[in-house]
């Protein structure tokens, strides 16, 4: 076994690998960019080496610097984690040449499976089922379009060197093919340095099921059950579980055996995942499966496999890489219970899941264990950030992974729901509420899964918070009053009670919220009577009481646990104060940000900005679809912004004429930067 390894990654996976190494008595070396000098993964390791600027291509993708760090610190091996250099065959070769063990498969196996087209040809030879499509080397656009027409629309264009949903486009008509191909190629080139694509028939009612495989240098290979990864948005996973619900045992065995055959076909060593697309009947039960790709690394969702098997897959990776045989034979692999993982992202679900950046002013996670694989712990959390850290535009916007295990799928689901309801993140947008709603969907609860479920249920998943507006207002008012009481001193002039000539007039409060602008009026308590609150949804002012159960001051935010009584309604809520005017209200898995505004500020002023298009996140302008003078309809594509290695098409917020372009192709823009102006149509502009 190794005595020291270097972890060539960052974030939660670097922390995850370091935890297993610590348990095994292996010293670890972290590498970090300028943006990560104070990151959690640096603190988790025994040593750390700076490798360059924040931009990944100048730091975490610099194999030469990482090898130099390994040699300088005496690390015997490099664990690449996932992403970055984890599937880079050339880097694996460079490690071998330098006498440093690459904790992953041989470069030849990685190269064979790294290109989707080549891997599919190999799988065909190994007898693994394939989706009908074009996997050839010729890449002429006219040929690709002709192949798509031969296969029959709808088709899926996929980056040959891709993964993680990058460089993938659904095309439902020939008229859309050229634009989709160009976009796919740009994203593939940006993400993988290779713009080659393949084309496949779009499988109807599909489920994404993957098999965890392991192989050693002694000729042994086995599979460790399957994971269902069908819950995806923008072709990227957000919920994964093991085992796959409703999968017939015979089909499970067939998929496992096919996955092992795939690994043997390329001389695989170490941990890998063979991904299949399963075509399902109307009830969601898989009837057959096709090979999609092989990920030649550990997967983000590996904790659910660890949860049901009780095995530490990182430990297995280390043992295999050091020359040891697999610890178990296939017949000895056992699974128990069910596990579900939810990926917590900094993103705007309501804005097409665009990434969100900013500081984690409050990061409250539920009671959990960290990186422990025992099956009876209930909830495990893998995270690489801490309260006070920032999510930057340079790397993946994942905040944490919540993994819940249970004796049954329903128990695991309920434990995960409770964990999400207890999660409070403030300072940027997140998908916590979205995940909670997804787990509550009847179709999900019943195991009726397919990759289109999120798109079909988007209206329900992205609706305004379901908590009563009156209670949300009452919670914000209660938190405001508690803050004001805490600020009072013995000086009577510090009192915030609106005292004037012995009269306590009604106090008007206005909040900007997910429901729009909300007005409420607080009536001061008369002798022997409670305060009363007039809030949205109430016909008349109601007796109002608010008791503060707890008060916590974080690094940049205060948190209060409140019990609010509003007439006949009584509820327990949590409010996090971002500042004196911003109140994040949490209740039963739902959340709403209420921002106090001036009494004369109307809805139109809050939603100002009509004809301007602004950048939803920092990024690079890579394509412009309009020029000054062009007339556009609402929803028409205007430009393409590249951020976090993905393309995001920004559409017209309203119909009109493009009056001014404020950016050009190649420009780096900051979040909120104005990109162009749209003037309303003349008929609208002329109206009073």
Strands 77-79 and 101-102: parallel
Using DSSP's 3-state secondary structure scheme, residue 7 falls into strand
Nearest to 292 by CA among 448, 174, 451, 180: 451
ω into 43 cis (within 30 of 0):
no
Q: How far apart are CA 612 and CA 30, in angstroms?
A: 44
3-state secondary structure 539-608: CCCEEEEEEEEEEEECCCCEEEEEEEEECCEEEEEEEEEEECCEEEEEECCEEEEEEEECCCCCHHHHCC
Instruction: Give CA separation, 304 vs 90, 372, 373, 380, in Å.
Output: 31, 12, 9, 10
Local structure of residue 166 (DSSP, 8 states): T
Are the C-beta atoms of 120 and 198 separated by less than 8 Å?
yes
Strands 558-566 and 569-579: antiparallel
Are the C-beta atoms of 263 and 211 separated by less than 8 Å?
no
Q: How far apart are CA 458 and CA 461, in angstroms?
A: 5
Q: How far apart are CA 290 and CA 133, in angstroms?
A: 12
Using DSSP's 3-state secondary structure scheme, residue 172 falls into coil
Nearest to 336 by CA among 370, 311, 361: 311
User: What spatial distance separates the first Cα and last Cα of the chain, rounded to whole Å?
Assistant: 79
- Radius of gyration, alpha carbons of the chain: 27
Residue matched to tokens 């995942």: 273
Instruction: Give CA separation, 294 vs 87, 213, 234, in Å.
Output: 11, 10, 20
Number of alpha helices (DSSP H) and beta strands (DSSP E) in the chain: 19, 39
Helix (H) or strand (E) holding 620: strand 619-624
Are the C-beta atoms of 591 and 605 separated by less than 8 Å?
no
Residue matched to tokens 């009053």: 481
Report the 10 Å Cβ neighbour count for 55. Answer: 13
| Phi, psi for residue 637 in degrees, rounded to 5 | -65, 130
Retrieve residue 114's tokens. 């790294």
Are the C-beta atoms of 644 and 347 separated by less than 8 Å?
no
E strands along 281-367, which residues? 286-295, 338-345, 347-348, 354-355, 358-359, 362-364
Nearest to 141 by CA among 172, 171, 179: 179
Q: How far apart are CA 382 and CA 402, in angstroms?
A: 7
Q: How far apart are CA 77 and CA 67, in angstroms?
A: 10
Estimate the crossing angle of helix 63-73 against helix 89-97, to 10 degrees: 30
Using DSSP's 3-state secondary structure scheme, residue 681 falls into coil
Catalytic residue among 297, 362, 380, 409: 297
Indicate if 297 belongs to the active site: yes
Catalytic amino acids?
A: 297
């Amino acid at each position: 076994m190794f005595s020291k390894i270097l972890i060539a990654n960052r974030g939660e996976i670097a922390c995850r690998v370091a935890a297993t190494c610590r348990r095994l008595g292996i010293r670890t070396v972290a590498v970090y960019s300028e943006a990560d000098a104070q990151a959690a993964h640096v603190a988790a390791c025994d040593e750390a080496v700076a490798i360059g600027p924040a931009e990944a291509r100048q730091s975490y993708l610099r194999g030469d610097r990482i090898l130099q760090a390994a040699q300088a610190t005496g690390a015997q091996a490099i664990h690449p984690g996932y992403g970055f250099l984890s599937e880079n065959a050339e880097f694996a070769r460079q490690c071998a040449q330098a006498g440093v063990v690459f904790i992953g498969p041989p470069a030849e196996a990685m190269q064979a499976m790294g290109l989707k087209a080549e891997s599919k040809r190999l799988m065909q030879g190994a007898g693994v089922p394939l989706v009908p499509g074009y996997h050839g080397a010729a890449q002429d656009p006219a040929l690709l379009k002709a192949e798509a027409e031969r296969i029959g629309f709808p088709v899926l264009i996929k980056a040959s060197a891709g993964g993680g949903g990058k460089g993938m486009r659904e095309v439902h008509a020939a008229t859309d093919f050229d634009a989709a191909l160009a976009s796919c190629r740009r994203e593939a080139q940006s993400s993988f340095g290779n713009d080659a694509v393949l084309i496949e028939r779009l499988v109807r009612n599909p489920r994404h099921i993957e098999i965890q495989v392991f192989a050693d240098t002694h000729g042994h290979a086995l599979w460790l059950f399957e994971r269902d990864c069908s819950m995806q948005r923008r072709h990227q996973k957000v919920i994964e579980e093991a085992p796959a619900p409703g999968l017939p045992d015979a089909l499970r065995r067939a998929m496992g055996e096919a996955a092992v055959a795939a690994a043997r076909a390329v001389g695989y060593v170490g941990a890998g995942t063979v991904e299949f697309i399963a075509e399902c009947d109307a009830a969601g039960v898989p009837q057959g499966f096709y090979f999609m790709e092989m990920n030649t690394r550990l997967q983000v969702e590996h904790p659910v496999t660890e949860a049901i098997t009780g095995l530490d897959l990182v430990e297995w990776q280390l043992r295999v890489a050091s020359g040891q045989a697999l610890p178990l034979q296939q017949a000895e692999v056992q699974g128990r219970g069910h596990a579900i993982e939810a990926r917590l992202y900094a993103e705007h679900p309501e804005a097409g899941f665009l990434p969100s950046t900013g500081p984690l002013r409050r990061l409250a996670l539920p009671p959990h264990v960290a990186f422990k694989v025992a099956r009876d712990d209930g909830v495990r959390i893998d995270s690489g950030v801490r309260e006070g850290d920032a999510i930057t535009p340079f790397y993946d916007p994942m905040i944490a992974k919540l993994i819940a295990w249970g004796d049954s799928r329903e128990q695991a689901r309920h434990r995960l729901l409770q964990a999400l309801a207890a999660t409070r993140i403030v300072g940027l947008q997140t998908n916590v509420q979205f995940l909670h709603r997804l787990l509550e969907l009847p179709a999900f609860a019943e195991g009726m899964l397919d990759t289109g479920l999120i798109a079909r249920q988007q209206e329900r998943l992205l609706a305004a918070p379901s908590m009563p507006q009156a209670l949300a207002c009452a919670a914000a008012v209660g938190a405001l009053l508690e803050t004001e009481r805490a600020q009072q001193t013995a000086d009577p002039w510090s009192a915030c009670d609106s005292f004037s000539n012995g009269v306590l007039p009604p106090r008007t409060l206005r909040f900007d919220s997910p429901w729009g602008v909300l007005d409420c009026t607080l009536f001061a308590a008369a002798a022997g009577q409670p305060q009363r609150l007039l809030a949205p949804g109430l016909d008349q002012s109601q007796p109002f009481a608010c008791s503060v159960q707890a008060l916590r001051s974080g690094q940049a935010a205060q948190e209060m646990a409140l019990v609010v009584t509003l007439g006949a309604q009584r509820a327990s809520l949590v409010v996090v104060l971002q500042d004196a005017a911003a109140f994040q209200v949490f209740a039963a898995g739902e959340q709403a940000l209420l921002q106090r505004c001036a009494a004369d500020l109307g809805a139109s002023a809050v939603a100002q900005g009509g004809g301007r298009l602004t950048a939803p996140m920092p990024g690079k302008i890579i394509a412009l679809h309009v020029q000054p003078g062009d007339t556009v309809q609402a929803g028409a594509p205007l430009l393409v912004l590249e951020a976090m290695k993905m393309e995001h098409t920004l559409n017209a917020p309203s119909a009109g004429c493009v009056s001014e372009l404020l950016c050009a192709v190649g420009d780096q823009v900051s979040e909120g930067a104005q990109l162009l102006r749209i003037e309303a149509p003349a008929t609208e502009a002329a109206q009073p």
